Structure 1
Amino acid sequence: MKITIIGAAGMIGRKLAERIAQTGAIGGQTVDAMTLVDVVAPDVATDFTGQRVSYAADLTEAGVAAKLVADKPDVIVHLAAIVSGEAEADMDKGYRVNLDGTRALLEAIAGVPDYCPRVIYASSLAVFGAPFPTKISDDFNLTPLTSYGTQKAMGELLLNDYSRRGILDGVGIRFPTICIRPGKPNKAASGFFSGILREPLNGQEAILPVDDDVRHWFASPRAAVGYIEHAAMMDTAPLGAQRCMTMPGVSATVAEQIEALRAVAGDEAVALIRREPDATIASIVAGWPRDFDTVRALETGFRAENSFEEIIRIYLEDEMGQSA
């Protein structure tokens, strides 16, 4: 089987490629060839025993999408995107990358005779906008309130339509906020969700800019890779015409995150969290969804963690090499 990962230099793309290199398979299916593409050449999966191609390319440039599908990969994982803050700050760039790039890929697939690949599309909780019910169900309308959310919602509709027409076999994954993200702190509004755990676990101070009662929807990087692995080989017939789903996760407040940290790493780690209110971040986070009822995803075999303590222990295992 051939797989192409677009956006392979990002955190999820890199971990997915490393997982495939480690196992030689995805979703139980042997991978013979893997192509890794991003705007910078991905440098991962060097131990992959099959055919491996890695190069830099911009999906929005003429001819790139056609090159990506020329060898008819069986599975295409589309992770490439301009994320929320940048898409809001630069509207033209957001639509060019998140919408035009996605459509270019789908049109390139449509132009290849006798070809119908599995396409896994990375979407976002940003397709939902307030006001929210206490728990968002699978039939809640897409009502984005940002350019990024709008672009992702349009991508979901395209995936549905091209799947309906038999051009491709799509699965759309709305990722929870991924936590704990490895690496250094960043300036993303959601970065503190990982930071208040990652930094204390590494013996460093962390800044908490919001109140303890802020609630959000989370999953680990390991779960994120698992979603894609499952989506690659699942039976899509039960999805019908609606190919996009919110993934399972853990709904937790900041206070619950902190107590999970205490349970795993003790009071000394919690003491490294410094409260420093930020009205701007608090305002942004107040407009985010908090909890989901992910019946469709669970019924079709997707899985995630069951507690925030489990998410923390996965970080210790996967990123710090510690037995949990």
Structure 2
Amino acid sequence: MHILIIGAAGMVGRKLTDKLVAEGHLGGKAITQLTLADVVAPAAPEGFPGKAETLTVDLSAPETATRLAAGRPDVIYHLAAIVSGEAEADFEKGYRINLDGTRHLFEAIRQEGLRKDAPDQPYKPRVVFTSSIAVFGAPFPDKIGDEFFTAPLTSYGTQKAIGELLLSDYSRRGFFDGIGIRLPTICIRPGKPNKAASGFFSNILREPLVGQEAVLPVSPDVRHWFASPRSAVGFLLHAGTLDLARLGWRRNLNMPGLSATVGEEIESLRRLAGDKAVALIRTEPDETITRIVDGWAQDFDARRALELGFKADATFDDIIRAHVEDELGGRIGG
């Protein structure tokens, strides 16, 4: 099996790569080839016995998608995107990467399947597209189900919503077998803060856990929908093996997660790391971030994903513990 990960240098892409290498198979099929692509150089997978290729490419360039599809990967994980805050700040860049890049990829797969020099070798890969809960916009019901209409209030959410429609149509037409998974906000993201408007949800936990200050730009009563990086990788693995006939033509679905307020996040931090860690959080209201966050969904009814076998974290304590175990060697404190 040949697996292509686009956006492989990102946090989720790296963790997905590591998990695939450790498992050695996907859905019972041995992984013999990995292609890792991103706009910055992905790290070569350590300990992988098969063929591995790392590519530094820009998906917004049409020739990039053609090159990637020519390798005829069996499973394609499309994780590449610029984050919400950056897509809102730079309108043209957001559409070029998040929308044009996605369209180029889907069209390249279609064209590869139509190649006249290989009529006896049909090509119809599995495509896993990471969408976002940002496809939804207020006013919201108490819990958002898969049937709730998409009316995004940001450019990022709009770009992801269009990507979902393209994925559904290209799957309907038989060009590939696609599934779009709407990820909750991934928390706690390791590494340095990024330009995502949602970044503070991780920052107010990650930095205090190692003895550093963090800034909280919104009210503690802000509620949001979360999943850990561990859960995100689990979603991707399951999406890569799920019988997609069970989806019918409703190819995009909400992933399970955990609804919590910022205040509940902080209390979980207090339970696991103490008052000293909580004291490192400094409140500095930011009107721009507050306005963006006010347009985000707070809670979901993910019964469809749960019935299909997707699983997520049970408590915020579990989310913090996963970060401590995976990123801090089981130790709290800087």
Of the candidates 290, 303, 315, which is equivalent to residue 323 of structure 2?
315
Deviation at 1:18, TM superposition (A): 1.3
Deviation at 1:161, TM superposition (A): 0.7
Deviation at 1:290, TM superposition (A): 0.4
Is it true that 1:31 corresponds to 2:39 in the alignment?
no
Kindly provide the CA deviation profile for residues 264-290 of structure 1, in whole angstroms up to 9, marking residues without a partner as x.
112222222222223332222111110
Of the candidates 204, 209, 220, which is equivalent to residue 217 of structure 2?
209
Hey, what's the Cα distance between the residues in 1 that align with 2:315 and 2:102?
34
The answer to whether the 8 A contact 2:85-2:195 is kept is: no
Q: Which residue of 2 aligns with 1:239?
A: 247
Hey, what's the Cα distance between the residues in 1 that align with 2:38 and 2:62?
15
Hey, what's the Cα distance between the residues in 2 that align with 1:164 and 1:263?
49
Q: Which amino acid aligns with 1:137?
A: G
The answer to whether the 8 A contact 1:76-1:118 is kept is: yes
Q: Which residue of 1 aligns with 2:118?
A: none
Q: Which residue of 2 aligns with 1:173?
A: 181
The answer to whether the 8 A contact 2:129-2:180 is kept is: yes
Hey, what's the Cα distance between the residues in 2 that align with 1:97 and 1:116?
24
The answer to whether the 8 A contact 2:154-2:292 is kept is: no
The answer to whether the 8 A contact 1:119-1:170 is kept is: yes
Q: Which residue of 1 aligns with 2:130?
A: 122
Of the candidates 124, 134, 147, which is equivalent to residue 139 of structure 1?
147
Deviation at 1:71, TM superposition (A): 2.3
Q: Which residue of 1 aligns with 2:172?
A: 164
**Which sections of structure 2, spanning at least 5 residues, go unmatched?**
114-121
The answer to whether the 8 A contact 2:83-2:195 is kept is: no
Hey, what's the Cα distance between the residues in 2 that align with 1:44 and 1:219?
27
Q: Which residue of 2 aligns with 1:224?
A: 232
Please state whether the residue corresponding to 2:112 is helix, strand or coil: coil
Task: State the number of aligned residues.
Answer: 324
Q: Which residue of 2 aligns with 1:94?
A: 94
Q: Which residue of 1 aligns with 2:103?
A: 103
1:162–1:204: structure 2 CA closer, same or farther, 3 Å change rule?
Answer: same
Of the candidates 283, 287, 296, which is equivalent to residue 279 of structure 1?
287
The answer to whether the 8 A contact 1:88-1:146 is kept is: yes
Q: Which residue of 1 aligns with 2:117?
A: none
Kindly provide the CA deviation profile for residues 242-298 of structure 1, in whole angstroms up to 9, marking residues without a partner as x.
101111000000111111111211222222222222333222211111000011111
Q: Which amino acid aligns with 1:60?
A: S
**TM-score calculated relative to the size of structure 1:** 0.96
Deviation at 1:230, TM superposition (A): 0.4
Is it true that 1:2 corresponds to 2:23 in the alignment?
no
Deviation at 1:6, TM superposition (A): 0.5
Q: Which amino acid aligns with 2:23?
A: T
Stretch of structure 1 that moved more, 178-187 or 212-221: 178-187
The answer to whether the 8 A contact 1:138-1:295 is kept is: no
Deviation at 1:29, TM superposition (A): 3.2
Deviation at 1:28, TM superposition (A): 4.3
Deviation at 1:25, TM superposition (A): 2.2
Q: Which amino acid aligns with 2:83?
A: V
